[in-house]
Amino acid sequence: MTSSPVWHPFTQHGLEQQFPEIVRSEGAWLETRDGQRIFDGISSWWVITHRHRHPKIIEAIRNQAERLDQVIFAGLTHEPAEATARALLDMVPAGLAHVFFSDSGSTAVEVGLKMALGYWRNIGQSRTRVLALEHAYHGDTVGTMSAGARGVFNAPYEPLLFDVGRIPFPLAGRQQDTFDALEAECRTGAVAAFICEPLVLGAGGMLLYDAATLQEMQRICAAYGVLFIADEVMTGFGRTGTAFACEQAGFTPDILCLAKGLTGGSIPLAVTLCTSAIFQAHLSEDRARMFFHSSSFTANPIACAAAVANLTIWRDEPVLDRVKKIAEAQERGLAALEATERFENLRRLGTIAAAEIKGGDSGYLNDISLRLRAALLRRGVLLRPLGNTLYVMPPYCATDDDLDAVYAHIEDAIDEVGR
C-alpha cells in the first residue's frame, strides 16, 4: 500500500507503517485487498455483536437512506429515533425513563457525567465530586479521561483533567476495602456520582469482579443518594452473558451509557438513559435549566434505523442462546491455553475470555502485544492484546470450529513470539 496521510488511533506510526486494507466483511470474517481472510476475534473493537453485515440491519440502513438521511434533532424528531427509544426502554432494566442520543461511547459517558452534575445543581445541592474505580477506562474526551485511570492513556493531557476520587478495584478477597473506601467518600455528602464498568473493566485489562460486589457498590451509593452511572458501552448487548451486566446484580442504575453494540456494530450511535428524576430536574420554564449538550449528528436517522433493526433481532431471535454457545466454546479454548502452561489468570465472563502471558510486563506498552498481534494476523486472526493480557471477544455467529482454530493459532503464535 502506498504512503497514506491517515493517522490511525492507538497506533505508533514509528513502529507500524503497513496496514492491511480490508475490503469486505461477512459473518465473523474480514477480507483484505489481497484476498486474505481474517477472523475478527475482537468484534472490531467490541462493536460487532450478531455478525458483520447482518442482512436485516443492512436492509434497514439501505431503506432509511432512501427516505431521510439526516435532520437536526433540536426541535424536531423522527420515527427511527422514537422507535429506538421505545425499544430500548422495553429492553433495559425497569426504571429508566428517558433516552438521550449521542455518537460514541465516550460521548455517552460524557453526557452521563454532565447529567449527574446538572441534576444536583438544578435541585440546589452542591454535590460536584465524581468517583470511579481504580484502573477504569471510560473514553477519550476530557470528562471521560478524567474519570478514567491516570496513566499512559492520558498523561499528556493532565492539565485538562479534573480531580476524581479513586475507589480501589475490588480484588477477590479484598472487596471490603472497596466497600469501605466507597462508603467513606459517599458519607462526605459531596459526591454527585459513582461511575463504573459493571463486572469487567475492559481497556484496564479485562479485570473481572462478581455480581455480588457490583450489587453492594450500588447499595452503598443508593444509601447516600449518590447517582450510580453504569458504563455499559462494552458490556451491554450480551457480552457478559446477559443483555446488560447490571441485570446480574439485580438493580437499575440511575444513568446507563450504551454504544458499541447498539446498532449491532454496523454504524456509530450511542445513548445515555436516565431515570425520571434526573430528567425532571432539568425540566423547567427556565431555559437556563435545560441540558446543554448536543452534536450535529444527534439521533441520525440512518443510525437509528440500524438500532431499531438490531433491537428487533434481540426481541425476536434467541440471541442469548448464541451467547451461551460462544461462552461454552470460550471455556474450552481457555482449557486448551491452560494446558500450554504459557498463560496465567485465565478467566471468562459471558463471551469474553482473557489470560495473562506468563513472564510478560503487564504495562499497556509491552512490546509483546505488537509481536503477538502481528504473529496472529499472519495466521488470519485479529486479536489486539492489552499489554500482556490476551483476550478473545468474537461476534455471536462464531462457530466452534472458528474458535478451536483461533486457540490453536494462539498456541502457535505464542510459541513463535517466545522463541
Of all residues in the chain, the percent with pLDDT exceeding 90 is: 94
pLDDT for 159: 95
CATH label, 57-316, candidates 3.40.50.720, 3.40.50.10140, 3.40.640.10, 3.60.21.10 = 3.40.640.10
Q: Are 92 and 313 in contact (CB under 8 A)?
A: no
Parallel/antiparallel/unpaired status of strands 22-26 and 129-133: unpaired
Q: What is the pLDDT confidence band of residue 367, given thresholds at 50, 70 and 90? A: confident
Provide, for the chain, the percentages of residues in helix, strand and coil under a 3-state DSSP scheme, each rounded to the nearest 5: 40, 20, 40
pLDDT tens profile 233-249:
999 999 999 999 999 99
pLDDT tens profile 251-300:
999 999 999 999 999 999 999 999 999 999 999 999 999 999 999 999 99
pLDDT tens profile 369-408:
899 999 999 999 999 999 999 999 999 999 999 999 999 9
pLDDT at 2 over 70: no
pLDDT for 1: 46
Which residues of the chain form CATH 3.40.640.10?
A: 57-316
**Which one has a higher pLDDT value, 300 or 368?**
300
pLDDT at 324 over 90: yes
* CB proximity list for 213: less than 8 A, separation 6 or greater: 170, 175, 178
Quote the CATH superfamily of domain 319-418.
Answer: Aspartate Aminotransferase, domain 1 (3.90.1150.10)
DSSP string, 219-256: HHHHHTT-EEEEE-TTTTTTTTSSSSGGGGGT---SEE
Show the cell assigned to 274.
Answer: 436516565
pLDDT tens profile 109-160:
999 999 999 999 999 999 999 999 999 999 999 999 999 999 888 999 999 9
Which residue, among 55, 53, 42, 111, has the nearest Cα to 270 in the 3D structure? 111
Which residue, among 88, 168, 158, has the nearest Cα to 131 in the 3D structure? 168
Tally Cβ neighbours within 10 Å of residue 216. 19
Residue 214's SS3 state is helix
Q: What is the pLDDT confidence band of residue 321, given thresholds at 50, 70 and 90? A: very high
pLDDT at 17 over 90: no
Q: What is the mean pLDDT of residues 75-103?
A: 98
Which residues of the chain form CATH 3.90.1150.10?
A: 319-418
Helices and strands, number each (H, E), in the chain: 12, 16
**Which one has a higher pLDDT value, 32 or 16?**
32
Q: Measure Cα distances from 168 to 118, 133, 222 in Å.
A: 27, 6, 19
Q: What is the pLDDT confidence band of residue 360, given thresholds at 50, 70 and 90? A: low
pTM reported for the whole predicted model: 0.97
